[in-house]
Amino acid sequence: MLMLYQQLQSFEKASSDQIRTVQYQQLFALFKHAAQFSPFWRERLQQAGFNPSKADIGHAAEVLQRLPALDRHTLQQQSANMRARWPALDEKRIITSTSSGSTGVPVRVEKDAATYSPLYAAISWQEGQWHRRDPRLPIAVIGTGLKPATMDSWGSIYSALGLKGPSHIRAAESASISEHLDWLQQIRPAYVKCSPNLAAELAQCALERGVQLPLKHIISQWERISPRHRELCQQAFSAPIIDRYSCEEAGWLALACPRQSLHVCSSSVLLEIVDDNDHPCAPGVPGRVLITPLQSFAMPMLRYELGDLAQWGEGCSCGLSLPVIGKLWGRVRHMIENASGHRIPMPFLGDEFGKIAAIRAFRICQYADKTLELQAETVRPLTENELAQVRQIFASNGLAELPLRIHDQHKIDWGNARKREEFIRVAGLAS
């Protein structure tokens, strides 16, 4: 892992041209492997004009653009044919990752642990070094479905290096927000790892109760971070939220640097942002996220469509040359349909709702007749001025012509899913 980390250190400060060259060299090797050992990819690569004897990065780039995007349904149905088992592979090394199924289509992806696990650990270590995180200090982890535990380190790699800060683990659904805050006061962690929504709720509770809980970092993943989340955590804990973009199918995709820019993990994944025709989007233009994990030899995934919307940002002044994702918009399915029938990204609403102090959380429903319903979790009933502000937010974002219902309530029932759905489409008509 440490040897891989040394390579990552060199890679993260290479020029853009050098990064692209290394990526496409690795991509060609993955194409060649997939064409030799995977029945599914052999056919797709042949149709895209792949020539295994033409070992240059230009050819790899051309083939990539000719490959159709891999959707979740195809991955689910063709997973057995996608496997690329080479003779020397020990099947005992294969591990299986299963997606959460939040799209309604859970998928299973097989990985070679001998390749995947050290690289995943090295990238995790790299991100910790960027933020100068000290694994000798205690960390608290709160997440859905976790089994309660206290371990003497943050994980096996930290233990092997003699870095033994205790790790306290707790299920998010096992207690109320106030009880979680009491627990954090008892164990006094330096770092908390949880979703940004949970972090914001903890911060709001701490502010209301006057609780002091100085933290160094709040380590986040699973959900989109809004300005409101950051503001609350800074007020309550004097701590930044560190963003991390990942998926079960491929692992790390992008990590935040100390300047909060989200840098793509280009050493392990080739990430594209494309339009409806699978053509690259210019910086600042939202598009669909396609990923190609560059070490996915056991089950190659070429141009896999995650179902996310994102846009490229400008380069960062932190010293890292890795590409920057300017904004994560959320899921492709989180698109509001306006009066003309066009679908537009939803998360811009969340940033603006966050400026209304009474609103702690929200969910938007859109019915088949395009009627919108805002379920607002509030600390008190919304005032007439705040209701007018909510309506103005919808109107200023091109939704003025749609019927809108606003329901403020003490608590939204989010269910037990790990990720919150801030937008849902309802098949029936509004009653």
Q: How far is CA 51 from CA 10, 38, 61, 84, 156, in A?
A: 31, 15, 12, 18, 42
Count of beta carbons in the 10 Å neighbourhood of residue 285? 12
Reduced to 3 DSSP states, what percent helix, strand and coil does the chain have, rounded to the nearest 5? Answer: 35, 25, 40
Least confident of 164-178, 336-350, 365-379: 336-350
In a domain, residue 368? The reply is: yes
d(CA 349, CA 398): 11
Question: Do 191 and 207 sit in the same domain of this protein?
Answer: yes
Residue 223 confidence class, pLDDT cut points 50, 70, 90: confident
Percent of the chain whose pLDDT exceeds 70: 94
Question: Do 148 and 237 sit in the same domain of this protein?
Answer: yes
**Chain centroid to CA 60:** 27
pLDDT of residue 339: 84
In a domain, residue 249? The reply is: no
Per-residue 3-state assignment (H helix, E strand, C coil) for 213-254 = CCCCEEECCCCCCCHHHHHHHHHHHCCCEECEEEECCCEEEE
Question: Do 185 and 239 sit in the same domain of this protein?
Answer: yes
Residue 251, classified by CB atoms within 10 Å of its CB into exposed (0-12), middle (13-18) or buried (19+), is buried
In a domain, residue 297? The reply is: yes
In a domain, residue 240? The reply is: yes
pLDDT surpasses 80 at 197 = yes
In a domain, residue 292? The reply is: yes
As a residue count, the chain comes to 431
Question: Do 106 and 143 sit in the same domain of this protein?
Answer: no
Contacts of 367 (CB under 8 A, 6+ apart): 373, 426, 428, 429, 430
Asked which of 306, 331, 356 is the last residue of a domain, the reply is: 331
CA atoms within 13 A on the CB side of 150: 5
Q: What pTM does this model have?
A: 0.83
Which tokens belong to 254?
């992008």
Least confident of 100-109, 157-166, 184-193, 352-361: 100-109
User: Is 200 within 8 Å of 237 (Cβ atoms)?
Assistant: no
State the residue range of the domain holding 406.
335-425
Count of beta carbons in the 10 Å neighbourhood of residue 65? 13
Count of beta carbons in the 10 Å neighbourhood of residue 250? 25
Question: Torsion angle, CA of 44/75/250/230, rounded to 10 degrees?
Answer: 120
Asked which of 244, 274, 296 is the last residue of a domain, the reply is: 244
pLDDT of residue 105: 59
Question: Do 27 and 74 sit in the same domain of this protein?
Answer: yes
Q: How many domains does the chain have?
A: 3
Question: Do 68 and 26 sit in the same domain of this protein?
Answer: yes
In a domain, residue 124? The reply is: no
Question: Do 9 and 114 sit in the same domain of this protein?
Answer: yes
Per-residue 3-state assignment (H helix, E strand, C coil) for 255-270 = EECCCCCEEECCCCEE
Asked which of 212, 244, 276 is the last residue of a domain, the reply is: 244
Q: How far is CA 249 from CA 93, 239, 421, in A?
A: 17, 30, 20
Residue 226 confidence class, pLDDT cut points 50, 70, 90: confident
pLDDT of residue 411: 83
State the average pLDDT over residues 85-110: 80
State the average pLDDT over residues 171-193: 94
The per-residue b/e assignment along 123-148, b for 16 or more CB within 10 angstroms, e otherwise, is bbbbbbebbebebeebbbbbbbeeee
DSSP, collapsed to helix, strand or coil, labels residue 42 as helix
d(CA 323, CA 19): 10
pLDDT of residue 39: 96
User: Is 294 within 8 Å of 268 (Cβ atoms)?
Assistant: yes
In a domain, residue 251? The reply is: no
CATH code, domain carrying 398:
3.30.300.30
Mutual orientation of helices 39-47 and 16-37 as an angle, nearest 10°? 120
CA atoms within 13 A on the CB side of 333: 14
State the average pLDDT over residues 88-92: 92
User: Is 48 within 8 Å of 63 (Cβ atoms)?
Assistant: yes
State the average pLDDT over residues 55-83: 93
CATH code, domain carrying 226:
3.40.50.980
d(CA 285, CA 227): 20
pLDDT surpasses 70 at 418 = no
State the average pLDDT over residues 139-143: 94
